[in-house]
Amino acid sequence: MLTTSLALALTAGLGIAPPTQATTTTTTQTTPSKAAAPAATGTIVDTAVAAGSFKTLVAAVQAAGLVETLSGKGPFTVFAPTDEAFAKLPAGTVEMLLKPENKAKLAAILTYHVVPGSVMAADVVKLKNAGTAQGQRVDIKVDGKKVMVDGANVVKTDIACTNGVIHVIDSVILPSDKTIVEIAASNGSFNTLVAAVKAAGLVETLSGKGPFTVLAPTDEAFAKLPPGTLDMLLKPENKQQLVDILTYHVVPAAAYADQVVTMSQVPTVLKTPIKVTVKDGKVMLGAATVVATDIEASNGVIHVVDTVILPTPANKAQASVDASSSKN
Protein backbone atom coordinates (compact mmCIF):
# COMPACT_ATOMS: atom_id res chain seq x y z
CA MET A 1 0.00 0.00 0.00
CA LEU A 2 1.15 3.53 -0.65
CA THR A 3 1.15 5.41 2.62
CA THR A 4 2.59 8.95 2.99
CA SER A 5 2.40 12.58 1.98
CA LEU A 6 3.66 15.04 -0.58
CA ALA A 7 6.40 17.31 0.83
CA LEU A 8 7.29 20.50 -0.99
CA ALA A 9 10.56 22.32 -0.37
CA LEU A 10 10.35 26.05 -0.93
CA THR A 11 12.35 29.24 -0.67
CA ALA A 12 15.13 30.83 1.31
CA GLY A 13 16.22 28.32 3.89
CA LEU A 14 12.74 27.56 5.19
CA GLY A 15 10.29 25.85 2.82
CA ILE A 16 6.62 25.18 3.03
CA ALA A 17 4.99 21.82 3.58
CA PRO A 18 1.96 20.50 5.39
CA PRO A 19 2.14 21.27 9.14
CA THR A 20 2.00 18.97 12.14
CA GLN A 21 3.07 18.51 15.68
CA ALA A 22 3.29 16.77 18.92
CA THR A 23 1.50 15.84 22.13
CA THR A 24 1.43 16.72 25.78
CA THR A 25 3.66 16.31 28.80
CA THR A 26 3.76 13.99 31.78
CA THR A 27 5.92 13.50 34.80
CA THR A 28 8.25 11.20 32.84
CA GLN A 29 10.64 11.86 29.98
CA THR A 30 8.84 9.58 27.57
CA THR A 31 5.07 10.06 27.96
CA PRO A 32 3.86 13.62 27.37
CA SER A 33 0.78 14.78 29.29
CA LYS A 34 -1.52 17.66 28.53
CA ALA A 35 -1.32 20.95 30.36
CA ALA A 36 -2.45 24.49 29.69
CA ALA A 37 0.14 26.42 27.72
CA PRO A 38 1.45 29.60 29.38
CA ALA A 39 1.23 32.88 27.53
CA ALA A 40 3.99 33.57 25.03
CA THR A 41 6.63 36.02 26.19
CA GLY A 42 9.28 35.79 23.44
CA THR A 43 10.17 34.40 20.05
CA ILE A 44 11.24 30.80 19.54
CA VAL A 45 14.89 31.83 19.83
CA ASP A 46 14.27 34.01 22.91
CA THR A 47 12.33 31.21 24.59
CA ALA A 48 15.03 28.62 23.84
CA VAL A 49 17.75 30.91 25.23
CA ALA A 50 15.76 31.65 28.40
CA ALA A 51 14.97 27.99 29.06
CA GLY A 52 18.59 27.08 29.71
CA SER A 53 18.19 23.51 28.50
CA PHE A 54 18.75 24.26 24.80
CA LYS A 55 22.25 25.72 24.84
CA THR A 56 23.52 23.39 22.11
CA LEU A 57 20.46 24.03 19.97
CA VAL A 58 20.88 27.80 20.32
CA ALA A 59 24.57 27.55 19.43
CA ALA A 60 23.65 25.47 16.39
CA VAL A 61 20.98 27.95 15.27
CA GLN A 62 23.55 30.73 15.55
CA ALA A 63 26.20 28.77 13.63
CA ALA A 64 23.69 27.93 10.89
CA GLY A 65 22.67 31.56 10.49
CA LEU A 66 19.05 30.85 11.36
CA VAL A 67 18.56 33.23 14.30
CA GLU A 68 16.91 35.92 12.19
CA THR A 69 14.68 33.37 10.44
CA LEU A 70 13.48 31.72 13.65
CA SER A 71 12.98 35.13 15.23
CA GLY A 72 10.82 36.18 12.31
CA LYS A 73 7.06 36.35 11.96
CA GLY A 74 6.51 32.66 11.34
CA PRO A 75 4.57 30.95 12.68
CA PHE A 76 6.80 27.91 13.13
CA THR A 77 6.53 24.69 15.07
CA VAL A 78 9.91 23.57 16.37
CA PHE A 79 10.77 20.12 17.67
CA ALA A 80 13.53 21.20 20.02
CA PRO A 81 16.20 18.69 21.08
CA THR A 82 17.55 19.27 24.58
CA ASP A 83 21.24 19.48 25.42
CA GLU A 84 20.98 15.84 26.53
CA ALA A 85 19.55 14.94 23.12
CA PHE A 86 22.56 16.47 21.35
CA ALA A 87 24.84 14.65 23.79
CA LYS A 88 23.49 11.33 22.45
CA LEU A 89 25.07 11.99 19.05
CA PRO A 90 28.37 10.21 18.36
CA ALA A 91 31.39 11.88 19.94
CA GLY A 92 32.64 14.83 17.90
CA THR A 93 29.46 15.17 15.81
CA VAL A 94 28.31 18.48 17.30
CA GLU A 95 31.79 19.98 17.04
CA MET A 96 31.98 18.89 13.39
CA LEU A 97 28.58 20.38 12.56
CA LEU A 98 29.44 23.72 14.18
CA LYS A 99 32.40 24.27 11.84
CA PRO A 100 31.79 26.99 9.21
CA GLU A 101 32.44 24.57 6.33
CA ASN A 102 29.50 22.42 7.52
CA LYS A 103 26.99 25.28 7.75
CA ALA A 104 24.72 23.95 5.00
CA LYS A 105 24.56 20.47 6.54
CA LEU A 106 23.79 21.95 9.95
CA ALA A 107 21.06 24.16 8.50
CA ALA A 108 19.50 21.11 6.82
CA ILE A 109 19.41 19.22 10.12
CA LEU A 110 17.94 22.16 12.03
CA THR A 111 15.26 22.97 9.46
CA TYR A 112 14.28 19.28 9.56
CA HIS A 113 13.14 20.07 13.11
CA VAL A 114 10.89 22.91 11.90
CA VAL A 115 7.36 22.57 10.54
CA PRO A 116 5.83 25.71 9.00
CA GLY A 117 2.72 26.76 10.90
CA SER A 118 1.80 26.66 14.57
CA VAL A 119 0.65 23.14 15.39
CA MET A 120 -0.38 22.40 18.93
CA ALA A 121 -0.09 19.05 20.68
CA ALA A 122 -3.80 18.26 20.48
CA ASP A 123 -3.53 18.08 16.70
CA VAL A 124 -0.54 15.77 16.45
CA VAL A 125 -2.48 12.62 17.23
CA LYS A 126 -4.41 13.12 14.00
CA LEU A 127 -1.26 13.08 11.89
CA LYS A 128 0.99 10.36 10.50
CA ASN A 129 3.62 12.69 9.11
CA ALA A 130 4.47 16.32 8.53
CA GLY A 131 6.38 18.23 5.90
CA THR A 132 9.35 20.12 7.30
CA ALA A 133 11.04 23.35 6.34
CA GLN A 134 14.01 21.28 5.15
CA GLY A 135 11.82 19.65 2.51
CA GLN A 136 11.65 16.06 3.73
CA ARG A 137 8.93 14.89 6.04
CA VAL A 138 8.99 13.52 9.56
CA ASP A 139 6.96 10.47 10.58
CA ILE A 140 4.67 10.80 13.59
CA LYS A 141 3.69 7.78 15.65
CA VAL A 142 1.21 7.78 18.53
CA ASP A 143 1.19 4.78 20.87
CA GLY A 144 -1.16 5.40 23.75
CA LYS A 145 0.16 8.48 25.52
CA LYS A 146 3.56 8.15 23.89
CA VAL A 147 4.29 10.27 20.83
CA MET A 148 7.33 9.90 18.61
CA VAL A 149 8.66 12.09 15.82
CA ASP A 150 10.88 9.87 13.69
CA GLY A 151 12.88 8.14 16.45
CA ALA A 152 12.53 10.88 19.09
CA ASN A 153 10.14 10.91 22.02
CA VAL A 154 8.13 14.06 22.62
CA VAL A 155 8.71 14.89 26.29
CA LYS A 156 7.13 18.33 26.63
CA THR A 157 4.71 20.22 24.45
CA ASP A 158 2.95 23.49 23.68
CA ILE A 159 5.62 25.91 24.83
CA ALA A 160 4.02 29.06 23.44
CA CYS A 161 6.16 31.60 21.60
CA THR A 162 5.21 34.86 19.93
CA ASN A 163 6.02 33.35 16.53
CA GLY A 164 4.99 29.74 17.04
CA VAL A 165 5.30 26.83 19.41
CA ILE A 166 8.03 24.52 20.73
CA HIS A 167 7.67 20.82 21.46
CA VAL A 168 10.63 19.26 23.25
CA ILE A 169 12.15 15.97 22.02
CA ASP A 170 14.74 13.69 23.58
CA SER A 171 16.82 12.94 20.45
CA VAL A 172 18.14 14.81 17.45
CA ILE A 173 16.30 13.69 14.31
CA LEU A 174 18.27 13.49 11.09
CA PRO A 175 17.11 13.87 7.48
CA SER A 176 18.45 11.67 4.73
CA ASP A 177 21.77 13.06 3.50
CA LYS A 178 22.18 10.73 0.51
CA THR A 179 21.02 11.53 -3.01
CA ILE A 180 18.75 9.26 -5.02
CA VAL A 181 21.76 7.93 -6.93
CA GLU A 182 23.73 7.27 -3.74
CA ILE A 183 20.83 5.40 -2.16
CA ALA A 184 20.29 3.28 -5.27
CA ALA A 185 24.00 2.50 -5.53
CA SER A 186 24.27 1.43 -1.90
CA ASN A 187 21.04 -0.59 -1.79
CA GLY A 188 22.20 -3.61 -3.77
CA SER A 189 18.85 -4.15 -5.52
CA PHE A 190 19.33 -1.52 -8.21
CA ASN A 191 22.66 -2.44 -9.83
CA THR A 192 21.16 -2.50 -13.32
CA LEU A 193 19.35 0.79 -12.80
CA VAL A 194 22.55 2.47 -11.62
CA ALA A 195 24.47 1.10 -14.61
CA ALA A 196 21.76 2.42 -16.91
CA VAL A 197 21.77 5.86 -15.26
CA LYS A 198 25.53 6.03 -15.78
CA ALA A 199 25.29 4.91 -19.42
CA ALA A 200 22.60 7.53 -20.06
CA GLY A 201 24.71 10.31 -18.50
CA LEU A 202 22.06 11.06 -15.89
CA VAL A 203 24.12 10.67 -12.71
CA GLU A 204 24.73 14.40 -12.32
CA THR A 205 21.09 15.23 -13.01
CA LEU A 206 19.70 12.74 -10.50
CA SER A 207 22.30 13.84 -7.96
CA GLY A 208 21.17 17.44 -8.31
CA LYS A 209 18.93 19.53 -6.13
CA GLY A 210 15.63 18.21 -7.44
CA PRO A 211 13.32 17.31 -5.92
CA PHE A 212 12.59 14.19 -7.96
CA THR A 213 10.49 11.09 -7.48
CA VAL A 214 12.09 8.03 -9.03
CA LEU A 215 10.05 4.95 -9.88
CA ALA A 216 12.94 2.55 -9.45
CA PRO A 217 12.87 -0.85 -11.18
CA THR A 218 14.75 -3.57 -9.32
CA ASP A 219 17.35 -5.80 -10.94
CA GLU A 220 14.62 -8.44 -11.22
CA ALA A 221 12.44 -5.93 -13.06
CA PHE A 222 15.15 -5.34 -15.67
CA ALA A 223 15.65 -9.11 -15.97
CA LYS A 224 12.03 -9.41 -17.14
CA LEU A 225 12.84 -7.49 -20.34
CA PRO A 226 13.18 -9.59 -23.50
CA PRO A 227 16.64 -11.19 -23.88
CA GLY A 228 19.20 -8.79 -25.33
CA THR A 229 17.11 -5.66 -24.65
CA LEU A 230 19.26 -4.35 -21.84
CA ASP A 231 22.53 -5.00 -23.69
CA MET A 232 21.10 -3.14 -26.67
CA LEU A 233 20.03 -0.16 -24.56
CA LEU A 234 23.42 0.16 -22.89
CA LYS A 235 25.21 0.63 -26.23
CA PRO A 236 26.36 4.24 -26.84
CA GLU A 237 24.41 4.49 -30.10
CA ASN A 238 21.17 3.83 -28.19
CA LYS A 239 21.77 6.42 -25.50
CA GLN A 240 18.75 8.57 -26.38
CA GLN A 241 16.39 5.61 -26.22
CA LEU A 242 17.82 4.74 -22.80
CA VAL A 243 17.42 8.34 -21.65
CA ASP A 244 13.78 8.28 -22.75
CA ILE A 245 13.09 5.12 -20.77
CA LEU A 246 14.84 6.34 -17.63
CA THR A 247 13.28 9.81 -17.64
CA TYR A 248 9.90 8.09 -18.02
CA HIS A 249 10.59 6.76 -14.52
CA VAL A 250 11.23 10.21 -13.03
CA VAL A 251 8.58 12.59 -11.69
CA PRO A 252 9.80 16.22 -11.54
CA ALA A 253 8.63 16.74 -7.94
CA ALA A 254 8.73 15.01 -4.57
CA ALA A 255 5.52 12.93 -4.69
CA TYR A 256 4.94 10.84 -1.59
CA ALA A 257 2.85 7.70 -1.77
CA ASP A 258 -0.43 8.92 -0.35
CA GLN A 259 -0.39 11.77 -2.82
CA VAL A 260 0.26 9.43 -5.74
CA VAL A 261 -2.78 7.29 -4.96
CA THR A 262 -5.04 10.33 -5.33
CA MET A 263 -3.86 10.89 -8.91
CA SER A 264 -5.17 9.37 -12.12
CA GLN A 265 -1.71 9.79 -13.65
CA VAL A 266 1.71 11.07 -12.65
CA PRO A 267 3.77 13.47 -14.78
CA THR A 268 7.25 12.45 -15.90
CA VAL A 269 10.43 14.17 -17.03
CA LEU A 270 9.80 12.61 -20.45
CA LYS A 271 6.72 14.87 -20.44
CA THR A 272 4.29 12.01 -20.92
CA PRO A 273 2.30 10.81 -17.91
CA ILE A 274 1.99 7.34 -16.43
CA LYS A 275 -1.44 5.99 -15.53
CA VAL A 276 -2.08 5.27 -11.83
CA THR A 277 -4.36 2.37 -10.93
CA VAL A 278 -5.36 1.54 -7.36
CA LYS A 279 -7.30 -1.68 -6.81
CA ASP A 280 -7.63 -4.14 -3.94
CA GLY A 281 -4.80 -2.52 -2.02
CA LYS A 282 -2.42 -2.73 -4.98
CA VAL A 283 -1.02 0.29 -6.76
CA MET A 284 0.12 0.12 -10.35
CA LEU A 285 2.01 2.69 -12.38
CA GLY A 286 1.50 1.74 -15.98
CA ALA A 287 2.25 -1.98 -16.15
CA ALA A 288 4.39 -1.93 -12.99
CA THR A 289 3.29 -2.80 -9.48
CA VAL A 290 4.61 -0.62 -6.67
CA VAL A 291 6.35 -2.88 -4.14
CA ALA A 292 7.94 -0.35 -1.77
CA THR A 293 7.37 3.34 -1.20
CA ASP A 294 8.70 6.55 0.29
CA ILE A 295 12.42 5.83 0.45
CA GLU A 296 13.57 9.35 1.21
CA ALA A 297 16.66 10.93 -0.29
CA SER A 298 18.20 14.34 0.17
CA ASN A 299 16.87 15.34 -3.24
CA GLY A 300 13.57 13.48 -3.42
CA VAL A 301 11.93 10.13 -2.89
CA ILE A 302 12.08 6.63 -4.38
CA HIS A 303 9.19 4.23 -5.01
CA VAL A 304 10.23 0.70 -6.03
CA VAL A 305 8.49 -0.97 -8.99
CA ASP A 306 8.63 -4.57 -10.18
CA THR A 307 8.62 -3.86 -13.92
CA VAL A 308 10.44 -1.48 -16.24
CA ILE A 309 7.84 1.00 -17.52
CA LEU A 310 8.32 1.48 -21.25
CA PRO A 311 7.03 4.56 -23.06
CA THR A 312 4.97 3.66 -26.12
CA PRO A 313 6.01 4.94 -29.55
CA ALA A 314 3.04 7.32 -29.42
CA ASN A 315 4.24 8.71 -26.10
CA LYS A 316 7.75 9.22 -27.43
CA ALA A 317 6.44 10.94 -30.54
CA GLN A 318 4.32 13.30 -28.43
CA ALA A 319 7.33 14.01 -26.19
CA SER A 320 9.34 15.01 -29.27
CA VAL A 321 6.54 17.35 -30.37
CA ASP A 322 6.36 18.89 -26.90
CA ALA A 323 10.13 19.35 -26.81
CA SER A 324 10.14 21.02 -30.23
CA SER A 325 7.27 23.30 -29.25
CA SER A 326 9.05 24.40 -26.08
CA LYS A 327 12.05 25.55 -28.11
CA ASN A 328 9.95 27.78 -30.38
pLDDT in tens, 77-98: 999 999 999 999 999 999 999 9
Structure confidence at residue 313 (pLDDT): 63
User: What is the location of CATH 2.30.180.10 in the chain?
Assistant: 44-169, 180-322
Share of the chain above pLDDT 70, in %: 84
Q: How far is Cα 160 from Cα 167, in angstroms, rounded to an integer?
A: 9
pLDDT in tens, 279-309: 998 999 999 999 999 999 999 999 999 999 9
Q: What is the SS3 assignment for 162?
A: coil
Superfamily grouping for domain 44-169: FAS1 domain (2.30.180.10)
What is the CATH topology of the domain spanning 180-322?
A: FAS1 domain (2.30.180)
Strands 300-305 and 212-217: parallel
Q: Measuring CA to CA, which residue among 4, 299, 292 is closest to residue 137?
A: 4
Q: Taking the model in full, what pTM does it have?
A: 0.79
Q: Do 114 and 77 contact (CB within 8 A), yes or no?
A: yes
Sign of the alpha-carbon dihedral angle for 176, 181, 185, 187: positive
